[in-house]
Amino acid sequence: MTSAERLHAFGDDALGHDDATGVAARIASGEITAAEAVEAAIHRIAQVNPTLNAQAFDDYARARARASRLNRPRGAFGGVPSGLKNNVHIQGMPLTFGSKAMPTSPKTRNGAFVEQFLSTGTIPICTTQTPEFGWTATTERLGGDVTRNPWNPQYSPGGSSGGTAALVAAGALPFAHGNDGGGSIRIPAAACGLVGLKPSRGRTGGDPISARMPVDLVSHGVLTRSVRDTARFFHALEAVYPAPKLARIGLAEHPPTRPLRIGLLIDSPSAPNPTDAETRRVVEATARTLTQAGHTVVDYTPSLSHSFRRDFEDYWSLLAFTIATQGRRLFGPEFRTSGLDPFTLGLSRRFLRRSPRIPLVVARLAASRLAFDREIRRQMDLLLSPVLCHTTPLIGHLSADQPFEQHFERLIAYVGFTPLHNATGAPAISLPVGLSSDGLPIGVMLSSRVGHERTLLEIGFELEEAMPFPRIDA
């Protein structure tokens, strides 16, 4: 797709071509007002959303009111417009998790992470689309209700934070919230040419449903167009949520000051197929760049249990079974099981076939954190891999309307790298260092030990300089 055919809303309004840090600086200096920034974002969403279908619910009236009252912006992103994914509690907003099974009544309080997000000074203006309960790696819902990729609207934006990714990549929002229980920040970041850091388990406020489960897979963060935006966001969160069990990140601003030992993993031991040629090319180019920068890059395969993929799939099925059978208890009497899509129901049925294994599955997944941490500590600083096994698929490849078994097989062939970090709680970052022959973004992933987000951000700064990230508005 040529640059003229890409769909974006960048222009000469109050938001300009700046990242969130740039917009915040212009608001703080008085060059623009928060009200002007919010109005520009609302106008930009109106430009792109009829095609992208990336916004779930708007919160424009409250956003305008907040911006008009903001005389002295405070926080790292004071007055900067943003969005929150449609799977967190926001006072006064519907919460549907992308599902027709859910009621649309507004919530009465903010969730823990939403309070942290607001503490950065940002003004959320909408919620963003997600597939049903975030189960899959696209953002497509029943009946052709799909969210599209601004780099080429015929393609998927990834998932499950695909609505966020589409709006940020298109320039409609400077940054926005995502969360990640199997790759849901990193996958859409890779598909839409963004930076996406899944932080360590416990770095941010918890997900209320996942936190009740025996293994908490979900971490919250943001999708951004620059490494500095991601670094500033997590530094700002530490002021209100210091995560005492983890090393502080601080404000990362520069590349690493010492050479690192980096393991290179190109084919996932958890995937049924090898990584495709285009993705392999980008990962190998990244490895060469890191070597030229003075780092040591060596081939490496983590010593995963041979059962890791099946264990993660079985646990994933347990989560779907919990939603399908306990939805009324979790979400209230208006929850309708009949509204669930075939993938959720198929995962739930799969659990019934696999349920005798669950105690052992939980034990192995719970033990994976320490095993992975010890292995990385002994052998390397970082692990470099693809984010995904192949390039971004066309809309429909992971359609919510297709038979469960077909959807499941296609998903497993696509998502072979990201679940490891959800099971182990380790941090991982997706960086948009390349393009496919069709002009679609390709991301690479770097991961490290629990608590070592700073190293990932520092290597992100280095790669952002050495391999400038493609811009949709170029």
Residues designated as active site: 85, 160, 184
Cβ–Cβ < 8 Å for 206, 242: no
CA separation for the pair 139, 190 (Å, rounded) = 14
CA separation for the pair 17, 348 (Å, rounded) = 44
Two tokens, residue 367: 């033990």
CA distances from 348 to 132, 213, 377, 432 (A): 13, 16, 37, 34
Residues 6 or more apart in contact with residue 197 via CB below 8 angstroms = 185, 221, 222, 230, 234, 427, 428, 429, 430, 453, 456, 457
CA distances from 49 to 98, 128, 150, 195, 392 (A): 16, 11, 10, 21, 20
SS3 46: helix
Return the percent helix, strand and coil in the chain, to nearest 5: 40, 15, 45
Beta bridge partner(s), residue 394: 155
Specify the DSSP element, H or E, that contains 14: none
CA separation for the pair 295, 472 (Å, rounded) = 30
φ, ψ of residue 196 to 5 degrees: the values are: -140, 110
Output b/e per residue, 202-227; b: 16+ Cβ within 10 A.
Answer: bbbbbbebbeeeebbbbbbbbbbbbb
CA separation for the pair 229, 342 (Å, rounded) = 37
Specify the DSSP element, H or E, that contains 450: none
The burial class, CB within 10 Å (0-12 / 13-18 / 19+), for 378 is exposed
CA separation for the pair 34, 40 (Å, rounded) = 10
Residues 6 or more apart in contact with residue 353 via CB below 8 angstroms = none
Beta bridge partner(s), residue 83: 126
**354 CB neighbour count, 10 Å cutoff:** 17
CA separation for the pair 389, 229 (Å, rounded) = 27
CA separation for the pair 456, 84 (Å, rounded) = 24
CA separation for the pair 224, 239 (Å, rounded) = 20
CA separation for the pair 43, 46 (Å, rounded) = 5
Cβ–Cβ < 8 Å for 73, 79: yes
